[in-house]
Amino acid sequence: MVKIFDWDKIETKNRHSGTMKTTCPECSHTRKNKKDPCLYVNFTSGVAKCFHCESLSFRDSESKIDEVKEYTLPSQTWTNYTNLSENLVKWVEDERRIKQFALKDLGITEEKYYQPKKQKEVNNIVFNYFEGDKLVNKKYRTADKCFTQSTGGKPIFYNINSIIGETECYIVEGEFDVLALHSYGIKNVISVPNGANDNDDYWKNSDIYIKDIEKFIIAVDNDTKGNELKERIAQRLGRYRCEFIEWTDKDANGALISGEIENDIKNRKRFPVSGTWQIKDIESDIFDLYHNGLPETIKPKHPTFAKFNEMYSVMRGQLTIGTGIPSHGKSNFTEWYALNLVKDYNMKMSMFTPEHSPMSLHQTTLIQKAIGRNFWSDRGGKPRINEADINRYVRWANERIYTTLPEKGEVPTWDWLLDKFKEQMFAFGVDIFLIDAFNKVLLPRGVNKIDAINEVLTKLTSFAQVNNVVVFLIAHPTKMKKDDAGVYNTPSLYDVSGSADFRNQTHNGFAIHRYFEDENGSGYTKFINLKTKFQFQGNIGAESSFNYDVDNSRYYGHDCPRHDIDLTLEDIGDTIQPNLEFESSAKEIIHQKKIDNGDYDIIEDDDLPF
């Protein structure tokens, strides 16, 4: 284990902000070049690391551990168990090809501990999760793959201390993979704490250490779940600063065992977003198109969109602009459309909708859309939404729907908004961004309006492409003229107030136009495809008609069967909560026999990271 020294020992030279390099109080006095600035100090994060002796220092470790929420930290007596048995050391080296020095460096211990699946206390190899000088979680593993962990510990990346002061970071899918890379000689490596499951909490808790990393090498398992995790990690961090490794033998530990680890690491690949590609970079994509045809677009799966999907769809990496005359329903329709994408593709959405404040009142409309009944009263022969419905929506939406608004009277600028979106990509894995409306964000100063609009739209299209996300932008048109019948003309993207670039820059566009009820019949709402980037996405100029249900704020396609699907009913419980990621068959045992021991959580026995 690395040594932790007191922050007060650092020679800060009266510096209190930014970063600096200085001498190390632990090793500089022993070195030939005693003035070598080997200690990296980050005053913003409150961490320091020596790149010679690898000692660490933390200014406020207590505040970092408790700043988000309270956790039950394990007993700090882990040093009592550092004497590893010969059998364990031999087993790890024979079975895993991991050297003893790696076990020592990462603070691996060996302890007797109760295993729920075995219903008895047995010997375990223990992976200790350190944050600074604090032990924040412990995971226990037996030789025959039974697992458990300490109760209420802090979700955080394993081996998080190893990336302090580093510019590169390897991310793997299990503690043994960390040990494997450490044995090979790569020390700046961390592991997700719960296998291929993605969870907001450990990202938020690790942000202070990850945010200054310049390049990430995603080295998770080379299987279906691992590839899904790779995409989610790249989505959070930004593909432009990520590379990835495709292991020959599933994972890093497998590659160490087979001897392929060096070759696999040398052949790491880039995500194709850096701006310059060789044909080799997209070779697999070309063959995928050749063998499998055109890429799939994103379409709502709700039956009411069946005919609509024949004429319009969106894709990741695209900006879509929606327009329409005020009060014709462009915001309402876009929200209903986007909620279905969140539901059908397990996506997450951030909504910048200052026109719809206060937030709680806006949520009542979203609840109606999601559940399919009225929030305020019994309507249409259906009962009012009840408290159980609201609770279910909160559980469903809590890690799917996010609201973005400035605080303390701030006036949002486009740089501020895009910075917030980038933060949300990292912290929450958001991949749909809805901006309603364009005129609610200040344009850049110092240029004329047309140039400012062009600059913003360029940033939005680039943001969508680089980060592989879906961006919806609502933009108001200029005042439209009426036709001979006294009906307002449907706006085009060229009619959006300010610039023709709303048509030229966007990948996709649509208009929502409402025909109000009159003596000739009931009213309806029309969706007009104003632009789709690729021909296979839809038919420009095509139209689709919908009926708006004022009781639940949903839109139902003409000539489509009405299905009142509750978006919140399916997949409840998919969202992983802190330290509850590992539910196994042992849970059934606990239900059958109450265990009078509250110092553990149950861990899943299938598809575990070690």
- Same domain for 144 and 262, yes or no, is yes
Tell me if 6 is assigned to some domain.
Answer: yes
Question: What is the model's pLDDT at position 589?
Answer: 32
Average pLDDT over residues 562-580: 58
Question: E strand or H helix at 557, and its extent?
Answer: strand 554-557
Residue 128 has pLDDT above 50, yes or no: yes
- Same domain for 69 and 49, yes or no, is no
165 vs 102: which has the higher pLDDT = 102
Tell me if 9 is assigned to some domain.
Answer: yes
3-class SS string, 206-220: HHHHHCCCCEEEECC
Domain that holds residue 91: 62-270
pLDDT band at 382 (very low <50, low <70, confident <90, very high): very high
pLDDT band at 118 (very low <50, low <70, confident <90, very high): confident
* C-alpha distances out from residue 259 to 98, 110, 233, 253, 265, Å: 12, 28, 27, 10, 12
* C-alpha distances out from residue 299 to 334, 337, 578, Å: 13, 9, 32
What is the rounded CA–CA span in Å between residue 456 and residue 459? 5
pLDDT band at 3 (very low <50, low <70, confident <90, very high): confident
What is the rounded CA–CA span in Å between residue 480 and residue 306? 31
pLDDT in tens, 249-261: 999 999 999 999 9
- Same domain for 45 and 76, yes or no, is no
Residue 485: cis peptide before it, omega within 30 degrees of 0: no
Closest C-alpha to 495, from 321, 282, 271, 344: 321
Tokens standing for residue 249: 């033998």
Question: What is the model's pLDDT at position 520?
Answer: 66
Average pLDDT over residues 296-310: 91
Tokens standing for residue 557: 């396609």
Tell me if 143 is assigned to some domain.
Answer: yes
Tell me if 130 is assigned to some domain.
Answer: yes
Question: What is the model's pLDDT at position 583?
Answer: 35
Q: What is the maximum span of the chain, computed from C-alpha positions, in angstroms?
A: 95
pLDDT in tens, 274-290: 456 778 777 888 898 89
263 vs 277: which has the higher pLDDT = 263
Partner residues linked to 19 by β-bridges = 42
Residues 537, 295 contacting (CB under 8 angstroms) = no
Question: What is the model's pLDDT at position 610?
Answer: 29
The label of the residue with tokens 């929030």 reads 375
pLDDT band at 391 (very low <50, low <70, confident <90, very high): very high
What is the rounded CA–CA span in Å between residue 505 and residue 91? 60
Residues 281, 499 contacting (CB under 8 angstroms) = no
pLDDT in tens, 170-222: 999 999 999 999 999 999 999 999 877 777 888 888 888 888 899 999 999 99
Question: What is the model's pLDDT at position 556?
Answer: 93
Tally of structural domains, the chain: 3
HSE value, Cβ hemisphere, 13 Å, CA-based, for 354:
15
Question: E strand or H helix at 75, and its extent?
Answer: none
Question: What is the model's pLDDT at position 602?
Answer: 41
pLDDT band at 69 (very low <50, low <70, confident <90, very high): low
Question: What is the model's pLDDT at position 519?
Answer: 64
Residues 49, 165 contacting (CB under 8 angstroms) = yes
Question: What is the model's pLDDT at position 40?
Answer: 87
Chain mean pLDDT for the chain: 86
Residue 494 has pLDDT above 80, yes or no: yes
Tell me if 356 is assigned to some domain.
Answer: yes
Residue 596 has pLDDT above 60, yes or no: no
Tokens standing for residue 317: 């990496």
132 vs 439: which has the higher pLDDT = 439
61 vs 168: which has the higher pLDDT = 168
What is the rounded CA–CA span in Å between residue 45 and residue 17? 10
- Same domain for 318 and 253, yes or no, is no
Give one DSSP letter per residue of 184-252, joined into a string: HT--SEEE-TTTT---HHHHHHHHHHHTT-SEEEE---SSHHHHHHHHHHHHHH-GGGEEE---TTSSH
Final residue in a domain of this structure, among 29, 59, 89 = 59
Residue 27 has pLDDT above 80, yes or no: yes
pLDDT band at 272 (very low <50, low <70, confident <90, very high): low
600 vs 97: which has the higher pLDDT = 97
pLDDT in tens, 517-540: 766 667 899 999 999 999 999 999
Question: What is the model's pLDDT at position 559?
Answer: 78
- Same domain for 388 and 246, yes or no, is no
Residue 601 has pLDDT above 80, yes or no: no
Partner residues linked to 212 by β-bridges = none
Question: What is the model's pLDDT at position 426?
Answer: 85
Tell me if 524 is assigned to some domain.
Answer: yes
DSSP three-state, residue 579: coil
3-class SS string, 87-127: HHHHHHHHHHCCCHHHHHHCCCEEEEEEECCCCEEEEEEEE
CATH code: domain of residue 95: 3.40.1360.10
- Same domain for 197 and 55, yes or no, is no
Residue 66 has pLDDT above 90, yes or no: no
What is the rounded CA–CA span in Å between residue 61 and residue 355? 41
Burial of 134 (0-12, 13-18, 19+ CB in 10 A): middle
pLDDT in tens, 495-514: 997 778 899 999 999 999 99
Strand order in the sheet with 189-191: 189-191, 168-172, 215-218, 242-244, 269-270
- Which of 188-192, 238-242, 299-303, 568-572 is the least confident region? 568-572
Question: What is the model's pLDDT at position 6?
Answer: 86
78-107 burial, b at 16+ Cβ within 10 Å, e below that, comes to beebeebeeebbeebeeebbbbeebbebbb
Partner residues linked to 318 by β-bridges = 470
Final residue in a domain of this structure, among 229, 245, 270 = 270
Residue 593 has pLDDT above 50, yes or no: no
- Same domain for 165 and 30, yes or no, is no
- Same domain for 230 and 355, yes or no, is no
DSSP state of 476: P
Residues 133, 58 contacting (CB under 8 angstroms) = yes
Average pLDDT over residues 558-580: 61
Question: What is the model's pLDDT at position 68?
Answer: 46
What is the rounded CA–CA span in Å between residue 586 and residue 595? 11
Question: What is the model's pLDDT at position 211?
Answer: 83
The label of the residue with tokens 């990462």 reads 106
Using only the alpha carbons of the chain, give its radius of gyration: 28
Tell me if 279 is assigned to some domain.
Answer: no
Query: Is the torsion defined by CA of 402, 405, 407, 412 positive or negative?
Result: positive
Residues 433, 461 contacting (CB under 8 angstroms) = no
Tell me if 570 is assigned to some domain.
Answer: no
Question: What is the model's pLDDT at position 295?
Answer: 87
CATH code: domain of residue 446: 3.40.50.300
User: What percent of the chain stands above pLDDT 90?
Assistant: 55
Query: What pTM value is reported for the model?
Result: 0.68
Question: What is the model's pLDDT at position 285?
Answer: 82
Residues 353, 362 contacting (CB under 8 angstroms) = yes
pLDDT in tens, 443-490: 998 889 999 999 999 999 999 998 999 999 999 998 888 887 777 889
- Same domain for 221 and 250, yes or no, is yes
Average pLDDT over residues 575-600: 35
pLDDT in tens, 366-377: 999 999 999 999
Final residue in a domain of this structure, among 540, 557, 574 = 557
Burial of 204 (0-12, 13-18, 19+ CB in 10 A): middle
- Same domain for 147 and 181, yes or no, is yes
What is the rounded CA–CA span in Å between residue 259 and residue 38? 34
- Same domain for 319 and 400, yes or no, is yes
Residues 186, 212 contacting (CB under 8 angstroms) = no
- Same domain for 35 and 55, yes or no, is yes
What is the rounded CA–CA span in Å between residue 57 and residue 39? 10
Query: Is the torsion defined by CA of 550, 552, 556, 561 positive or negative?
Result: negative
* C-alpha distances out from residue 277 to 274, 280, 281, 282, Å: 8, 8, 6, 8
